[in-house]
């Protein structure tokens, strides 16, 4: 094999300093040993290549590694190491990005390594983790060399992220998300991207279609509930379809507390009073959070008051206020219920009890406001408070 090396033009090492003379003779010895490279053991070959690399004989290293990559005796692990080694030499030593890309394509075509390996060894290790412009170029170039669809999708996801979050090239990343969906129709990242686009454009029906796919193909029950909740909110607030929201959320409410308030609003929009009251009672009993339990009792009290079940409303609101004694909103609702019931004596007692539980040092103004507004409300109903 051709082992010619540029030795720097020195024909007589006697003109060099002693240390340089020794290095020069060592380099000449290395060059002469290139001819024996095919007959060397693998470890000896590695030693020679490293020595040549230390003298920046990158073209010779390029030749030796390419020869070894064509050797039938190379194991898969050795091939992987040599490809990565060669790519480093081409990119970092010879500063040849074009040659580096061609070897990267050979590497992937030959070994079909997973995308995680491509990212680790080519993008991060050789190009550097922040070199996003060249990352994008390489990913585009090597895409067609990958055979497995799942690995193509991973590559495109990374490429889309680079264009969207790192290079901010909108004209580039949207077509990539479209391409991802041609390979994997249920892809979560692409569906989420187009969902956000549709919401931004107030295309509610289109956003709902994306969420349907996301919910249907969610990998976990928690993710399914999250997407179903988001879809239900679109139905309820944007598409005026409370029935659709109710259908989605009703079977999920017990296991996923975070959706309960949206479900309650769906019941209210559909005027399903009995089911609403039953659900509120279930939620307040199952809630482990005192404030949340109080809110469920409060909402149940308000519904009961609205439908004329005043005594039940007073009981629910009283229980709610016991859990949140400083709540102005709950107190006003209880006052309204007591006035509606004609129980002004109990209302006076309620105000007295409120004086006992409110921290007068920090909430004096709150207490005064409660009393003032309670009296105003009683007067509206033709009553008076002392």
Which band of pLDDT confidence, cut at 50, 70 and 90, is reported for residue 172? very high
HSE of 352 in the Cβ direction (CA atoms, 13 Å)?
Answer: 8
Kindly state the tokens that stand for 280.
């509120």
Give per-residue pLDDT as tens, 234-290.
999 999 999 999 999 999 988 898 999 999 999 999 999 999 999 999 999 998 899
Per-domain boundaries in the chain:
16-145, 148-199+207-213
Least confident of 41-50, 56-65, 68-77, 324-333: 324-333
- Compute CA distances 82 → 52, 66, 324, whole Å: 15, 8, 70
Q: What angle do CA 243, 248, 252 make, to 5 degrees?
A: 135
The pLDDT of residue 362: 47
Per-residue pLDDT band for 320 (boundaries 50, 70, 90) equals very high
Backbone φ and ψ of 147, nearest 5°: -95, -40
* pTM metric for this prediction: 0.76
pLDDT digits (tens, 9 = 90+) for 327-351: 878 887 887 788 778 776 777 776 6
Kindly report the number of other CB atoms within 10 A of residue 119's CB atom. 17
Measuring CA to CA, which residue among 373, 361, 311, 363 is closest to residue 337?
311
User: Rounded CA gap, 372 and 337, in Å?
Assistant: 17
Mean pLDDT of 6-25: 49
Q: What is the pLDDT of residue 335?
A: 78
Among the residue ranges 138-147, 197-206, 314-323, the one predicted with the least confidence is 314-323
The separation between the first and the last C-alpha atoms of the chain, rounded to the nearest angstrom, is: 111
**For residue 358, what pLDDT is reported?**
56
Compare 6 and 47 and report the one with higher pLDDT. Answer: 47
Give the integer Cα–Cα distance in Å for 207 and 195. 5
Q: Are 334 and 350 a contacting pair, CB within 8 Å? A: yes
By 3-state DSSP, what share of the chain in percent is helix, strand and coil, each rounded to 5? Answer: 80, 0, 20
Question: Which one is predicted more confidently, 43 or 366?
Answer: 43
């Amino acid at each position: 094999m051709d082992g010619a090396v540029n030795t720097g033009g020195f024909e007589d090492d006697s003109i060099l300093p002693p240390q340089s003379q020794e290095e020069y003779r060592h380099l000449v010895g290395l060059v002469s040993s290139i001819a024996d490279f095919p007959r060397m053991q693998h470890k000896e070959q590695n030693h020679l290549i490293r020595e040549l690399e230390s003298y920046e004989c990158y073209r010779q290293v390029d030749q030796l590694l390419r020869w070894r990559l064509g050797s039938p005796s190379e194991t898969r692990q050795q091939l992987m190491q040599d490809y990565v080694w060669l790519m480093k030499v081409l990119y970092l030593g010879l500063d040849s990005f074009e040659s580096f890309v061609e070897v990267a394509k050979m590497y992937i075509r030959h070994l079909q390594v997973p995308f995680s390996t491509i990212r680790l060894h080519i993008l991060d290790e050789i190009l550097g983790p922040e070199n996003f412009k060249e990352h994008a170029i390489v990913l585009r170039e090597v895409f067609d060399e990958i055979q497995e669809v799942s690995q193509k999708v991973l590559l495109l996801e990374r490429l889309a992220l680079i264009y969207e979050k790192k290079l901010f090239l909108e004209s580039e990343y949207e077509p990539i998300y479209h391409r991802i969906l041609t390979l994997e129709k249920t892809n979560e990242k692409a569906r989420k991207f187009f969902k956000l686009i549709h919401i931004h454009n107030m295309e509610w029906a289109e956003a709902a279609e994306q969420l349907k796919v996301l919910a249907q193909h969610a990998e976990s029950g928690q993710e399914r509930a999250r997407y179903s909740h988001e879809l239900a909110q679109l139905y309820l607030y944007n598409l005026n379809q409370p029935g659709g929201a109710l259908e989605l959320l009703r079977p999920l409410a017990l296991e996923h507390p975070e959706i309960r308030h949206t479900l309650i609003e769906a019941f209210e929009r559909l005027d399903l009073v009995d089911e609403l009251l039953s659900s509120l009672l279930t939620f307040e009993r199952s809630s482990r959070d005192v404030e949340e339990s109080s809110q469920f009792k409060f909402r149940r009290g308000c519904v009961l008051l609205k439908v004329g079940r005043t005594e039940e409303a007073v009981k629910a609101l009283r229980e709610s206020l016991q859990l949140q004694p400083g709540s102005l909103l709950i107190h006003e609702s209880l006052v309204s219920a007591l006035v509606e019931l004609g129980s002004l004596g109990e209302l006076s007692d309620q105000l007295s009890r409120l004086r006992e539980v409110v921290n007068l040092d920090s909430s004096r103004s709150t207490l005064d406001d409660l009393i003032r507004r309670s009296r105003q409300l009683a007067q509206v109903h033709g009553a008076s408070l002392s």
